[in-house]
Amino acid sequence: MDPAFQKDFLRDFKRGNSSPVLALFGKHPAWNDHMDDFGLTTPSLRTCKRLLYLQGIAANAAREQSESPGFGPYRHSLLWVRGREAMLLRLVESEDGRRRSYFPLVGAFHFDLAGAERSLRVLIPALRSFVDTCRSHSSREAVRDQHRHTQDHLRADLRHPPAAEGKVEAPHPDEVEALRSLAGGRSFATRQVPICRYDHAESFAALASAWSALPGDRPLLISQGDADTAITLAAGEPEKGDFWFLRAPRP
Protein backbone atom coordinates (compact mmCIF):
# COMPACT_ATOMS: atom_id res chain seq x y z
CA MET A 1 0.00 0.00 0.00
CA ASP A 2 1.17 3.51 -0.83
CA PRO A 3 0.86 6.01 2.07
CA ALA A 4 0.77 8.84 -0.48
CA PHE A 5 -2.55 7.57 -1.87
CA GLN A 6 -4.49 8.30 1.30
CA LYS A 7 -2.61 11.54 1.84
CA ASP A 8 -2.66 13.02 -1.67
CA PHE A 9 -5.13 11.36 -4.05
CA LEU A 10 -7.93 13.75 -5.08
CA ARG A 11 -6.52 16.51 -2.93
CA ASP A 12 -4.87 18.50 -5.72
CA PHE A 13 -7.30 21.41 -5.51
CA LYS A 14 -6.51 21.92 -1.83
CA ARG A 15 -3.04 22.88 -3.00
CA GLY A 16 -4.41 25.82 -4.96
CA ASN A 17 -4.99 24.52 -8.51
CA SER A 18 -8.72 24.11 -9.16
CA SER A 19 -8.80 24.38 -12.95
CA PRO A 20 -10.54 21.32 -14.46
CA VAL A 21 -8.37 19.05 -16.61
CA LEU A 22 -9.27 16.64 -19.42
CA ALA A 23 -6.97 13.66 -20.04
CA LEU A 24 -6.80 10.82 -22.57
CA PHE A 25 -4.66 7.68 -22.50
CA GLY A 26 -4.75 4.01 -23.45
CA LYS A 27 -4.89 2.19 -26.76
CA HIS A 28 -5.68 3.91 -30.07
CA PRO A 29 -5.22 2.69 -33.66
CA ALA A 30 -3.08 5.69 -34.57
CA TRP A 31 -0.32 4.40 -32.26
CA ASN A 32 1.35 1.00 -32.55
CA ASP A 33 1.44 0.59 -28.78
CA HIS A 34 -0.01 2.61 -25.91
CA MET A 35 -0.81 6.09 -27.17
CA ASP A 36 0.85 9.30 -26.01
CA ASP A 37 -0.76 10.68 -22.86
CA PHE A 38 -2.77 13.88 -23.18
CA GLY A 39 -3.57 16.09 -20.22
CA LEU A 40 -2.06 14.07 -17.35
CA THR A 41 -1.09 17.32 -15.65
CA THR A 42 -2.35 16.73 -12.09
CA PRO A 43 -0.84 14.26 -9.61
CA SER A 44 -4.23 12.58 -9.16
CA LEU A 45 -4.65 11.98 -12.89
CA ARG A 46 -1.22 10.37 -12.99
CA THR A 47 -2.09 8.24 -9.94
CA CYS A 48 -5.35 7.25 -11.61
CA LYS A 49 -3.53 6.05 -14.71
CA ARG A 50 -1.03 4.09 -12.63
CA LEU A 51 -3.64 2.35 -10.47
CA LEU A 52 -6.41 1.83 -13.02
CA TYR A 53 -4.48 1.28 -16.24
CA LEU A 54 -0.84 0.34 -15.65
CA GLN A 55 -1.69 -1.95 -12.74
CA GLY A 56 -5.39 -2.84 -12.82
CA ILE A 57 -6.16 -3.16 -16.52
CA ALA A 58 -2.73 -4.66 -17.18
CA ALA A 59 -3.55 -7.38 -14.63
CA ASN A 60 -6.91 -7.90 -16.34
CA ALA A 61 -5.15 -8.29 -19.70
CA ALA A 62 -2.78 -10.92 -18.32
CA ARG A 63 -5.69 -12.83 -16.81
CA GLU A 64 -7.75 -12.69 -20.01
CA GLN A 65 -4.94 -14.28 -22.00
CA SER A 66 -4.98 -17.32 -19.69
CA GLU A 67 -8.76 -17.78 -19.47
CA SER A 68 -11.58 -18.67 -21.86
CA PRO A 69 -13.21 -15.87 -23.91
CA GLY A 70 -16.50 -14.27 -22.93
CA PHE A 71 -15.38 -11.17 -21.08
CA GLY A 72 -17.61 -8.14 -20.72
CA PRO A 73 -16.56 -5.20 -22.90
CA TYR A 74 -14.94 -2.05 -21.60
CA ARG A 75 -17.84 0.35 -21.91
CA HIS A 76 -17.99 1.96 -18.48
CA SER A 77 -18.52 5.29 -16.81
CA LEU A 78 -16.69 5.74 -13.49
CA LEU A 79 -16.65 8.49 -10.90
CA TRP A 80 -13.86 8.66 -8.33
CA VAL A 81 -14.82 11.11 -5.60
CA ARG A 82 -13.36 12.49 -2.39
CA GLY A 83 -15.00 15.46 -0.71
CA ARG A 84 -15.54 18.18 -3.32
CA GLU A 85 -12.92 16.80 -5.71
CA ALA A 86 -13.78 14.23 -8.39
CA MET A 87 -12.57 12.42 -11.48
CA LEU A 88 -15.02 11.23 -14.12
CA LEU A 89 -13.79 8.47 -16.44
CA ARG A 90 -15.03 6.84 -19.63
CA LEU A 91 -13.60 3.51 -20.83
CA VAL A 92 -14.29 2.04 -24.28
CA GLU A 93 -12.99 -0.96 -26.18
CA SER A 94 -10.07 -0.09 -28.42
CA GLU A 95 -6.92 -1.44 -30.03
CA ASP A 96 -3.53 -0.22 -31.19
CA GLY A 97 -2.21 -0.04 -34.73
CA ARG A 98 -1.16 -3.70 -34.50
CA ARG A 99 -4.74 -4.69 -33.58
CA ARG A 100 -3.94 -5.66 -29.99
CA SER A 101 -7.07 -5.04 -27.98
CA TYR A 102 -6.67 -6.04 -24.33
CA PHE A 103 -6.52 -2.41 -23.19
CA PRO A 104 -9.24 0.26 -23.58
CA LEU A 105 -9.15 3.92 -24.52
CA VAL A 106 -9.70 6.03 -21.40
CA GLY A 107 -10.93 9.59 -21.06
CA ALA A 108 -10.70 11.29 -17.65
CA PHE A 109 -11.88 14.65 -16.38
CA HIS A 110 -10.57 15.97 -13.04
CA PHE A 111 -12.84 18.66 -11.60
CA ASP A 112 -14.45 20.30 -8.59
CA LEU A 113 -17.67 18.48 -7.67
CA ALA A 114 -19.53 21.57 -6.44
CA GLY A 115 -23.02 21.45 -7.93
CA ALA A 116 -22.52 17.73 -8.58
CA GLU A 117 -25.64 16.87 -10.54
CA ARG A 118 -25.46 20.01 -12.72
CA SER A 119 -21.80 19.37 -13.52
CA LEU A 120 -22.36 15.68 -14.23
CA ARG A 121 -25.24 16.46 -16.60
CA VAL A 122 -22.71 18.36 -18.71
CA LEU A 123 -19.74 16.05 -18.26
CA ILE A 124 -21.14 12.53 -18.67
CA PRO A 125 -22.47 12.95 -22.23
CA ALA A 126 -19.57 15.22 -23.18
CA LEU A 127 -16.94 12.72 -22.03
CA ARG A 128 -18.74 9.87 -23.82
CA SER A 129 -18.78 11.88 -27.03
CA PHE A 130 -15.14 12.92 -26.64
CA VAL A 131 -13.85 9.38 -26.20
CA ASP A 132 -16.00 7.96 -29.02
CA THR A 133 -14.91 10.75 -31.36
CA CYS A 134 -11.24 10.28 -30.52
CA ARG A 135 -11.61 6.53 -31.05
CA SER A 136 -12.96 7.19 -34.55
CA HIS A 137 -10.06 9.44 -35.59
CA SER A 138 -7.37 7.85 -37.73
CA SER A 139 -4.51 10.29 -37.10
CA ARG A 140 -2.58 11.43 -34.06
CA GLU A 141 -3.00 15.07 -35.04
CA ALA A 142 -6.80 14.71 -35.09
CA VAL A 143 -6.76 13.21 -31.59
CA ARG A 144 -4.56 16.03 -30.29
CA ASP A 145 -6.83 18.66 -31.83
CA GLN A 146 -9.94 16.95 -30.42
CA HIS A 147 -8.44 16.89 -26.95
CA ARG A 148 -7.51 20.59 -27.04
CA HIS A 149 -10.90 21.60 -28.49
CA THR A 150 -12.93 19.54 -25.99
CA GLN A 151 -11.00 20.73 -22.95
CA ASP A 152 -11.61 24.36 -23.88
CA HIS A 153 -15.32 23.73 -24.40
CA LEU A 154 -15.78 21.76 -21.17
CA ARG A 155 -14.10 24.44 -19.11
CA ALA A 156 -16.40 27.04 -20.65
CA ASP A 157 -19.50 24.85 -20.18
CA LEU A 158 -18.76 24.27 -16.48
CA ARG A 159 -18.81 28.01 -15.89
CA HIS A 160 -22.50 27.99 -16.83
CA PRO A 161 -23.90 24.49 -16.10
CA PRO A 162 -27.63 23.80 -16.62
CA ALA A 163 -29.99 24.86 -13.85
CA ALA A 164 -30.46 22.36 -11.04
CA GLU A 165 -33.68 20.36 -11.03
CA GLY A 166 -34.21 20.52 -7.28
CA LYS A 167 -32.22 18.82 -4.52
CA VAL A 168 -29.99 15.82 -5.17
CA GLU A 169 -32.09 12.68 -4.80
CA ALA A 170 -31.74 10.86 -1.50
CA PRO A 171 -29.96 7.49 -1.69
CA HIS A 172 -31.96 4.27 -1.44
CA PRO A 173 -31.62 2.15 1.74
CA ASP A 174 -29.50 -0.53 0.03
CA GLU A 175 -27.15 2.19 -1.27
CA VAL A 176 -26.80 3.66 2.22
CA GLU A 177 -26.05 0.24 3.70
CA ALA A 178 -23.41 -0.48 1.05
CA LEU A 179 -21.75 2.91 1.48
CA ARG A 180 -21.65 2.56 5.26
CA SER A 181 -19.99 -0.83 5.01
CA LEU A 182 -17.33 0.61 2.71
CA ALA A 183 -16.72 3.70 4.83
CA GLY A 184 -15.85 1.55 7.83
CA GLY A 185 -13.31 -0.60 6.01
CA ARG A 186 -9.57 -0.29 5.65
CA SER A 187 -8.57 -2.36 2.62
CA PHE A 188 -10.00 -1.99 -0.89
CA ALA A 189 -13.46 -3.51 -1.03
CA THR A 190 -16.38 -3.54 -3.49
CA ARG A 191 -20.13 -3.74 -3.15
CA GLN A 192 -22.84 -3.91 -5.80
CA VAL A 193 -26.22 -2.19 -5.63
CA PRO A 194 -29.09 -2.49 -8.14
CA ILE A 195 -29.51 0.32 -10.63
CA CYS A 196 -32.57 2.24 -9.48
CA ARG A 197 -32.25 5.34 -11.67
CA TYR A 198 -31.95 5.56 -15.43
CA ASP A 199 -29.98 8.79 -15.26
CA HIS A 200 -26.22 8.44 -14.67
CA ALA A 201 -25.96 12.00 -13.37
CA GLU A 202 -28.68 11.43 -10.76
CA SER A 203 -27.17 8.14 -9.62
CA PHE A 204 -23.60 9.38 -9.39
CA ALA A 205 -24.62 12.63 -7.67
CA ALA A 206 -26.82 10.85 -5.12
CA LEU A 207 -24.10 8.35 -4.25
CA ALA A 208 -21.38 11.00 -4.06
CA SER A 209 -23.53 13.19 -1.83
CA ALA A 210 -24.38 10.29 0.50
CA TRP A 211 -20.70 9.31 0.70
CA SER A 212 -19.63 12.83 1.64
CA ALA A 213 -22.07 12.76 4.57
CA LEU A 214 -20.46 9.67 6.10
CA PRO A 215 -17.51 9.83 8.51
CA GLY A 216 -14.06 9.20 7.14
CA ASP A 217 -12.07 10.43 4.19
CA ARG A 218 -11.62 7.43 1.88
CA PRO A 219 -11.95 7.95 -1.90
CA LEU A 220 -15.07 6.31 -3.34
CA LEU A 221 -15.15 4.77 -6.82
CA ILE A 222 -18.54 4.42 -8.55
CA SER A 223 -18.67 2.26 -11.69
CA GLN A 224 -21.51 1.54 -14.10
CA GLY A 225 -21.09 -0.44 -17.31
CA ASP A 226 -23.42 0.30 -20.19
CA ALA A 227 -24.84 -3.24 -20.08
CA ASP A 228 -24.74 -3.70 -16.30
CA THR A 229 -27.78 -4.20 -14.08
CA ALA A 230 -25.90 -3.07 -10.97
CA ILE A 231 -23.57 -0.27 -9.90
CA THR A 232 -20.25 -1.26 -8.38
CA LEU A 233 -19.08 0.79 -5.40
CA ALA A 234 -15.50 0.55 -4.14
CA ALA A 235 -13.47 2.36 -1.52
CA GLY A 236 -9.84 2.48 -0.55
CA GLU A 237 -6.61 2.04 -2.47
CA PRO A 238 -6.91 -0.57 -5.23
CA GLU A 239 -4.23 -3.14 -5.95
CA LYS A 240 -3.48 -4.59 -9.36
CA GLY A 241 -6.06 -7.38 -9.27
CA ASP A 242 -8.91 -5.26 -7.95
CA PHE A 243 -10.33 -4.04 -11.26
CA TRP A 244 -11.43 -7.44 -12.53
CA PHE A 245 -15.03 -6.37 -11.87
CA LEU A 246 -14.74 -4.24 -15.03
CA ARG A 247 -14.01 -7.32 -17.15
CA ALA A 248 -15.68 -10.24 -15.38
CA PRO A 249 -17.58 -12.49 -17.81
CA ARG A 250 -21.29 -11.76 -18.03
CA PRO A 251 -23.65 -14.58 -16.96
pLDDT tens digits, 233-251:
999 999 999 999 998 765 5
Query: Is 12 contained in some domain?
Result: yes
pTM, rounded to two decimals: 0.94
Number of domains in the chain: 1
Assess if residue 164 is contained within a domain: yes
Does residue 153 lie in a domain region? yes
pLDDT in tens, 123-144: 999 999 999 999 999 999 999 9
Query: What pLDDT, on the 0 to 100 scale, is given for residue 163?
Result: 65
**Residue 158, pLDDT score:** 86
Residue 136 lies in a domain: yes
Sheet containing 105-112: which strands, arranged edge to edge? 21-26, 105-112, 85-92, 75-82, 220-225, 230-235, 189-194
| pLDDT tens for each residue of 173-230 | 999 999 999 998 888 999 999 998 888 899 999 999 999 999 988 999 999 999 888 9
The band of 81, judged by pLDDT with boundaries at 50, 70 and 90, is very high
Task: Note whether residue 251 is domain-resident.
Answer: no
- 26 is in which domain, residue-wise? 3-246
Q: Would you say residue 117 lies in a domain?
A: yes
Read off the pLDDT of residues 142-159 as tens digits, 9 standing for 90 and up. 999 999 999 999 999 888
